Structure 1
Amino acid sequence: MSQLPRPRAESTGGATAPAGRRHALLLPGQGAQHVRMAAGLMTAEPVFAEAMDEALTALTELGPLGDRPAGLREDWLRSPDAAVIDHVTRAQPLLFAVDYALGRLVLGWGVRPAALLGHSIGEVAAAVLSGVFTLRDAAALVHDRVTRLADAPPGGMAAVAATPDEVAPFLGDEVAVGAVNAARQTVLAGLDAPLGAVTEALREAGFVVQRVPASTAFHSPALAPATGGAADRIAALPAGEPGIPVMSGYTARFLTPAEAKDPAFWSRQPVAPVLFWPALDALLATEDLVLVEAGPGQGLSQLARRHPAVRSGSSAVISLLPARPGPPEADVAALRAAAEALREHAGAV
């Protein structure tokens, strides 16, 4: 088993973790993606590279994703176009693959997480790391989901600095709460025209609104027609019980064996809202933890730092990758800094 790598003197990022705390992995979803996310680790981290190759092979051997002439791997490593990476046929499978590969890397360091918490597609990566699905079967689930959603009408998501109750008067049948990310960060989802009208009304009312990088109305009823029949496909995939506890971002409680084996639980995820903040709150109510964001960017880390348990210092946050896209060496430096932070409380590993 590989050990925590030696940190470099020029390491940046990361956080000091309190000694004696167990770990939980945070696995991000739609909105975290960016061009060449984590690609700098391909030559520096053999465990990551092997896991990434396995995931990309499992995804692409099932058939093409979308109508891009370039393949999934080629777009990940070569495309400079953010619009390409933001599209459902690239963002979803690549986020799944990067989350999974980073999770494998951390497990290879000897870290044994107390729990996994995935956001959106990150929950599917958590399901693989916990043993609910094999990588190949999870890739089949992701491939089927992406293929269905690729034909959904144009839509999007927008983050609002407000509570769900505050945005409720502005919503109708066509725009829904897609995620509750923090105490005052609610993400709305809907098709382009109605979402645009709602976000404009919110801005006029004085709310701060920011579009999320997404061209699909994830986690809204608008996707219900596209997901019809998905449960039948998932029912053909063997599913086991979580070997590592999974705090579900859809129920804000630990995934039960019955839910893990229920095709409907997985098939409705593109339509159901993500309850990240309630799930994080439930997770940190169990014990003080070191939260390790194993995915591109530091979006979940920034949200987690708002939690009272982190603000008080009883829990801590470590990010494996830089907050913003950068050169390959930035990925490596951020990872080394995270490894150093983990080593500072190695007695908990």
Structure 2
Amino acid sequence: MGTLATGRSTVLLLPGQGSQHLRMAAGLFGTEPVFTAAMDEVFTALGTEGDRLREDWLSERPAVELDHVTRSQPLLFAVDHALGQLVLSWGVRPGAVLGHSIGELAGAVLAGVFALPDAVALVRERIRLLGDGPPGGMLAVAAAPEEVEPFLGGDVVIGAYNAPRQTVLAGPDPALEKVHAALLEADFTCRRVPSLSPFHSPALAPAVEGSADLIAALPVRPSRITLHSCYTALPLSPDEVTDPEYWAAQPVAPVRFWPALDALLTDCDAVLVEAGPGQGLAQLARRHPSVRAGRSAVVPLLPARPGPPERDRASVAAAREALIGLGVAPQPTAG
């Protein structure tokens, strides 16, 4: 893994399902040329649907709500990809990428595993398949996995291990609502994650059957950047990077963000750069002992909450200054 003169690696954190919100990162569109070009490249690859997607992304009142799979998946992929390209354009050279959910696919493009048009084709196919999946959702619970396990049932499973006491459940409705009610009755703090589909649960398994065939037909290249997997919680081996079954299983497999982050920060200290909407992964990462002790640092690009366009721009400018101060990004040249 590439390291800085300080001995710390730079790691891109790319968020996934549930982090989407209205006009996420839209304040950068038209003002940050690299970001704008990367977003437009995704929209162009999506054809006529890309035009509608752009309209909904930039709208305060989108025709299709952003929590719907046809909006959340492609827009999260696009924003993660475009922000990652922006960071790379600053001269940042990440030693690793850690993507959460759809963020891992965006990371694979940044690492050179998939060409962007091929990854967009995969996103489009996922949307088509997942549209046939059952309605459901995800539920964030302020509890350890072992505390919530007695409440699981009715196809509701642990969908994400985000932190020692931040567990996300996933499953179809009404089973998820039943579990939600039981957890509230037991005095657990819970909130629904913005999602209309039971991502990272077996409920979606029938919907993604056969997607490995599409992936097998795509050119897959060795990764230029280490991909730390949120599914194995370890760096992906060369064989795993090129395994169609690995990528096909992503919408169904549980996300092991905390174990993956812990393994990464056990290997080396790092500057963790969240390149995606909000600061969800940054907030989780700040709980890690390496960050709390000051050995590792966290730099989110965007504000924690939605706001006016100028807030996006100010946040990105502040993040770049922070990365320069940490020795991660070079000073911009005049002109």
Structure 1: give runs of 5+ residues left out of the alignment: 1-16
Change (3 A) 1:292 1:64: same
1:169 to 1:83, Cα distance in 2 relative to 1, 3 A: farther
Query: What is aligned with 2:83?
Result: 102
Distance (Å, rounded) in 1 between the aligned partners of 2:155 and 2:131 = 19
The residue identity in structure 1 corresponding to 2:18 is G
Q: Which residue pairs with 1:299 in the alignment?
A: 280
Q: Which residue of 2 aligns with 1:77?
A: 58
Contact 1:76 1:94 in 2 (8 A): yes
User: How many residues matched?
Assistant: 327
Q: Does 1:181 align with 2:162?
A: yes
Among 64, 67, 71, the residue aligned to 1:90: 71
Is 2:24 the partner of 1:43?
Answer: no
Q: Does the 8 Å contact 1:251/1:275 carry over to 2?
A: yes
Provide TM-score, normalisation by structure 2: 0.94
Q: Does 1:120 align with 2:81?
A: no
Tell me the percent identity. 63
1:338: Cα distance to partner?
0.3
Q: Is the 8 A contact 1:128 1:138 kept in 2?
A: yes
Please give the residue correspondences for 1:137-216 in structure 2 after superposition, counting only pairs within 5 Å.
Answer: 137-216=118-197
Matches of 2:33 and 2:61 in 1, distance apart?
24
User: 1:144 Cα deviation (Å)?
Assistant: 0.5
Q: Please give the alpha-carbon distance, in whole angstroms, between the structure 1 residues aligned to 2:251 and 2:29.
A: 30
Who is 1:11 aligned against? none
Query: Which of 206, 209, 220 matches 2:201?
Result: 220
CA deviation string 1:250-300 (max 9, x = no partner): 110001111111111011111100000000001111111010000000000
In the alignment, which of 308, 322, 325 is matched to residue 289 of structure 2? Answer: 308
- Counterpart of 1:53? 40
Cα deviation, 1:298-324, whole Å, max 9, x if unaligned, reads 000000001111011110100100111
Q: Is the 8 A contact 2:56 2:63 kept in 1?
A: no
Flag as ranges the 4+ runs of structure 1 deviating above 3 A: 17-20
CA contact (8 A) 1:22 1:348 kept: no
Q: Deviations over 1:66-107 (max 9, x none)?
A: xxxx71111111242597111110001000000000000101
SS in structure 1 at match of 2:114: coil
Distance 1:270 1:36, change over 3 A: same
Aligned equivalent of 2:310, options 314, 324, 329: 329
Contact 1:18 1:314 (8 Å CA) reproduced: no
> Is the 1:322–1:334 Cα contact (8 Å) retained in structure 2?
yes
TM-superposed deviation, 1:151? 2.1
Give the C-alpha shift of residue 158 in structure 1: 0.3
Whole-angstrom CA distance in 2 between matches of 1:215 and 1:99: 20
How far apart are residue 146 of structure 1 and its match? Answer: 1.1
Q: In the alignment, which of 115, 123, 130 is matched to residue 111 of structure 2?
A: 130
2:253 corresponds in structure 1 to: 272
| Equivalent position of 1:6 in the other structure | none
Q: What TM-score do the two structures reach when normalised by structure 1?
A: 0.90
Q: Is the 8 A contact 1:20 1:347 kept in 2?
A: no
Once the two structures are TM-superposed, the CA of residue 38 in structure 1 deviates from its matched residue by 0.5
Structure 2 unaligned runs (5+)? Answer: 331-335
Letter aligned with residue 41 of structure 1: L
Distance in 2 between residues matched to 1:332 and 1:155, nearest whole Å: 35
